[in-house]
Amino acid sequence: MKQLENKVILVTGGSGLIGKSIVEDIQNHGGIALNLDINIAKDASLDTHQIYCDITDSKAIESCFKKIHSHFGRIDGLVNNAYPRTKDWGNKFEDVTPESWAKNVEMQLNPTFFLIQEVVKYMVPNRRGAIVNIASIYGVVGNDFTVYDGTNMTSPAAYSAIKGGIINFTKYMASYLGKDNVRVNCVSPGGIFDNQNPIFVANFEHQVPLSRLGQPEDISPAVSFLLSDGAGYITGHNLLVDGGWTAV
Ligand SMILES: NC(=O)c1ccc[n+]([C@@H]2O[C@H](COP(=O)([O-])OP(=O)(O)OC[C@H]3O[C@@H](n4cnc5c(N)ncnc54)[C@H](O)[C@@H]3O)[C@@H](O)[C@H]2O)c1
């Protein structure tokens, strides 16, 4: 039997760089992966496993989960992976307005709360479920800004606050839901190759022990493992998949 055989697993942002690989890996392990994204036709049938859902809209999530549950009969897993952000995301610290900071916290951090609050309504009565939140190395350590030398790139200030918040919220939820046999973990990727400026790529690869940026396929097996029964005694963990970035 495959490790995710017939498990119904929701993946937010499953059309994106890392999300696509998470969806594929779940499918390869026998799971039924449902992609919840805004990059999907609004009238797509549930049978396509592609569902239009804006995760910043708590009412939309409530009705989307209700539909999925009545169609599939259960919800076994949730991967919080989507990455909504404002148009000015990526501005230097000095240029970030309070409104932009607040909006990004609202769009990126708050949905983690209401997606989990909603999904546990279906997991707790079954006394089983696995939730994986996608965080980042920058929720664990401060940035090494030298990797941006020679480029106009930076890492947004709010990202660290949001991802650090997600990692500790994961521990809160793991503790709260332990009695219900619902596990909550994080996967924290390091930098992922996405055709960035070659100067950044060279700087980054020079600093990371495994001498390369990650690929989405480096991240997805860690997610599938934490969703599986093989991880049945793991909860509240933050699994760093970062080529050793946080080891040095
Ligand atoms: N790419 C990296 O280097 C990296 C590194 C560490 C962590 N991460 C984390 O991995 C996750 C995925 O990142 P990515 O690089 O694949 O991003 P991406 O931009 O490629 O994909 C994000 C997906 O989220 C979807 N999305 C955006 N707003 C949404 C909304 N309101 N509702 C539903 N879906 C929405 C987008 O349509 C897109 O398909 C994020 O949580 C990100 O913080 C990425």
> Looking at residue 72, which CATH number applies to its domain?
3.40.50.720
Q: Into how many domains does the chain fold?
A: 1
Amino acid in position 237 = H
pLDDT at 228: 98
Closest atom of ligand 1 to CA, residue 214 = 3
CA separation, residue 101 to residues 38, 42, 96, 104, 115 (Å): 22, 29, 7, 5, 21
Q: Tell how far the Cα of 209 is from the centroid of ligand 1, in angstroms.
A: 25
Q: How confident is the model at residue 165 (pLDDT cuts 50, 70, 90)?
A: very high
- The set of residues, in sequence order, having a beta carbon less than 8 Å from that of 43 and lying 6+ positions away, is none
Please report whether residue 128 resides in a domain: yes
231, pLDDT greater than 90: yes
User: What is the span of the domain harbouring residue 117?
Assistant: 8-247
221, pLDDT greater than 90: yes
Q: Tell how far the Cα of 217 is from the centroid of ligand 1, in angstroms.
A: 15
46, pLDDT greater than 90: yes
Q: Tell how far the Cα of 85 is from the centroid of ligand 1, in angstroms.
A: 9
Neighbour tally for 129: CB within 10 Å: 24
Please report whether residue 186 resides in a domain: yes
15, 18, 40, 197, best to mutate for ligand 1 pocket (most atoms within 8 Å of CB): 18
50, pLDDT greater than 90: yes
pLDDT > 70 fraction of the chain, expressed in percent and rounded = 100
Residue 114's closest CA among 162, 57, 39?
Answer: 57
Please report whether residue 83 resides in a domain: yes
Please report whether residue 2 resides in a domain: no
Please report whether residue 37 resides in a domain: yes
pLDDT at 230: 98
Closest atom of ligand 1 to CA, residue 163 = 43
Q: Nearest C-alpha to atom 23 of ligand 1 is from which residue?
A: 13
Please report whether residue 3 resides in a domain: no
Specify whether the CB–CB gap between 123 and 182 falls below 8 A: yes
pLDDT at 177: 98
Structure tokens at 172: 């809160």
Please report whether residue 1 resides in a domain: no
63, pLDDT greater than 90: yes
1, pLDDT greater than 90: no
C-alpha–C-alpha distance, residues 30 and 4, integer Å? 5
114, pLDDT greater than 90: yes
Q: Nearest C-alpha to atom 25 of ligand 1 is from which residue?
A: 13
Please report whether residue 219 resides in a domain: yes
Q: What would the pLDDT profile of 18-36 be if each residue is shown by its tens digit?
A: 999 999 999 999 999 999 9
Structure tokens at 136: 């980042």
Q: What would the pLDDT profile of 86-101 be if each residue is shown by its tens digit?
A: 999 999 999 999 999 9
Structure tokens at 168: 């500790």
The one catalytic residue in 138, 148, 159, 176 is 159
To the query of whether residue 176 is one of the catalytic residues in this protein, the response is no
Q: How confident is the model at residue 43 (pLDDT cuts 50, 70, 90)?
A: very high
Does residue 189's CB lie within 6 angstroms of at least one atom of ligand 1? yes
* DSSP state letter for 150: T
Mean pLDDT value of segment 199-209: 98
Q: Tell how far the Cα of 7 is from the centroid of ligand 1, in angstroms.
A: 23
pLDDT at 193: 98
- Distance separating the N- and C-terminal Cα atoms of the chain: 39
